[in-house]
Amino acid sequence: MDLARSITARQRLAILILVLIAILFAPSGQARDDEKLHSGIDLAAEIALLVRLQYVDPVRVTDLLSAYMVTDTIEGMLESLGDQYTRYLDPGAYKAYTEDVEGTYSGIGIHVGLLNGRATVVAPMPDTPAKRAGLASGDVIMAIDGKSTENMSLEEAVSLMKGPEGTRVVLTIQREGEELRDVEIVRAVITVPVVESEMVEEGIGYLRIITFSADTADQVHRALEDLRSQGAEGLVLDLRWNGGGLFDQSILVASMFVGEGPIVHRVGRGGVKNTHMRSTEVPTYDIPLVVLVNQWSASSAEILAGALKDSGRAPLVGTKTFGKGVVQGVFPLGNGGALSVTTDRYLTAAERSIHGEGIVPDYIVELPEPGEPAESEELGPFDSGEEDALDQPESAEPDSTTPEATEDPDGADEAVETQIEVLEDVVVEDTQLLKALEVLRSMLAGGELDELSEAS
C-alpha cells in the first residue's frame, strides 16, 4: 500500500514538473492548446510509469520523461530505450491489434499488397464477400469509395475497406486487359483461417500454421484429427513465414507433440526464470514429424520450433529463423490506446538464447529463388507487423512483433508479383518441402534421426 502511494505521488510530481517545463519553454509565438498539452503529458506520464513497472530492465522515469521533453513525442520517449519492440499503440492500432488476437474482423476478405504504389489483390479468401464478388489475384484497386489509392499507404487502404457488417464499399478495379470497373461489396464478419492442411502423398500429411491466433490450437487439433482419419503416418509441419502470434497458443501446439519436459523459459527482471512445461489441456500426438522454418519464422513460431528441436522430437529443415527472443506485454491506456512493452526474454527448452541469432535448422536448404515477404496485409488478423499476446490475467500480453516485410519499394513490388504468380499456378519447386519429405520418408522407414542431421 505504501508503494502504491509512493508511485502515485511520483507520478503526480512528474506530471506537474512536465506541465511547468512545457509552459515555460514552449517556443515563443506558438499557440498551444492547454487541453491537448495536458493530455499529451498525462499520456507520457502514464506510459513512463508502466515502463518503469513492467520493462524487463530497470528504467528511471526521469530519463523517460526527459526524452519526452526533448522529442515532444511518445515515440521519441520510447525510442530512448533502444528497444524496437516497446512501442505505443494509438486507439486505432490497439483496435486492430485486438481484432488480430480474436482472429475475426468485419470487411471483405482479401489479402492485399502494394504493387507500383497501389493496393493490389494478392488473393481473395475462400467463401468471403470478395471471392463472391469475383475479385482475383492481380486486380489493382484504383479507388476505394471514390478515393484514389495512388500513393495510399497499405494501412489506409485496409482501414477504408474494413467497416461494420452489412455496410457497402465500392472498389474501382483495374484488371489486366480490361476496362476499369466498379465492384460493390457488402462487408461481413470474416474469420481468418490460420491453419492449412492436406495429404501430400500416401501416409504423409502437411500442416501449415500461418499465425498463432486465439483458436490456433483448436484448428491444429482438428487438422491433425482430419489428417489421421485420412491415414497420415507422418507429418510435415510448416512454420515458414509465421511471424508469431499468441504465446499461449504456441505452448498448446508444442504440447501436442512434446511428451514431457519444458517448452520454453521466460526470464524477467532480475533474472527471475519462469519455466513453461507441457500443457495437459491438449492431447499428445506421437506422429513422426519434420518442421519447415525460414528467416521469417519468428517469435512464437521459434518457441514451437525450438521446443521440437531441443526435445529431439523433430528435425528442422529450411533456413535460420529470425531470432526474436523477447516477450512483450500489451497494457491498455486511459486514452483507449495501449503500450506494448518488453517484459521478458525467453530461452528455448534447452535454455538457449536465440535473440538476434535465430535457430539453425538440422538441414539448411534454400529455395531456388528466395524472396522476402511483400509489404502485405490481410484485411484483418495478423498484419505481419504486430504483437503476439501472452496469456496473463491482467493484460493481453504479446510475445512480439514480426520482422519487417521490406523497406525497399522495388523489393516489395517484386515480392507481391511473386505471390500473385504463385497463386496463378506458376509453379516454383519447393526444395525445402521436398527435403522435408525426403527426411520424413527416411524416418518412417526406420532411419535414425542422428544419422539424418547433416546440413545439406
Residue pair 290/317 in contact (Cβ under 8 Å)? The answer is: yes
Strand pairing report for 390-392 and 395-397: antiparallel
Quick check: is 450 catalytic?
A: no
Question: Could you please report the per-residue DSSP string of 270-285?
Answer: GG-EEEEEPPSSS---
Give just the sign of the alpha carbon dihedral 185, 187, 192, 193: negative
Strand pairing report for 234-238 and 262-267: unpaired
Task: Find, among 443, 434, 450, the residue nearest to 206 by Cα.
Answer: 434
Q: Which neighbouring-strand residues pair with 234?
A: 204
Question: Could you please report the per-residue DSSP string of 352-400?
Answer: -B-TTT----SEE---SS--PPPSEEESSS--SSS---EEETTEEE---
User: 238, 324, 384, 388: which is the annotated catalytic residue?
Assistant: 324
User: 250, 299, 311, 400: which is the annotated catalytic residue?
Assistant: 299
DSSP code, position 401: P
DSSP code, position 27: P
Quick check: is 80 catalytic?
A: no
Cell of 49: 510509469
Quick check: is 310 catalytic?
A: yes
Q: Which neighbouring-strand residues pair with 423?
A: none
Measured from the Cβ of residue 133, the count of other Cβ atoms closer than 10 Å reads 17
Rounded to an integer, what is the distance from CA 361 to the centroid of its chain? 21
Residue pair 100/213 in contact (Cβ under 8 Å)? The answer is: yes
Question: Could you give phi then psi for residue 377, rounded to 5 degrees?
Answer: -140, 150
Residue pair 88/78 in contact (Cβ under 8 Å)? The answer is: yes
Q: Say what angle helices 300-310 and 247-255 make with each other, to 10 degrees.
A: 30
User: 100, 139, 310, 413: which is the annotated catalytic residue?
Assistant: 310
What residues act catalytically? 299, 310, 324
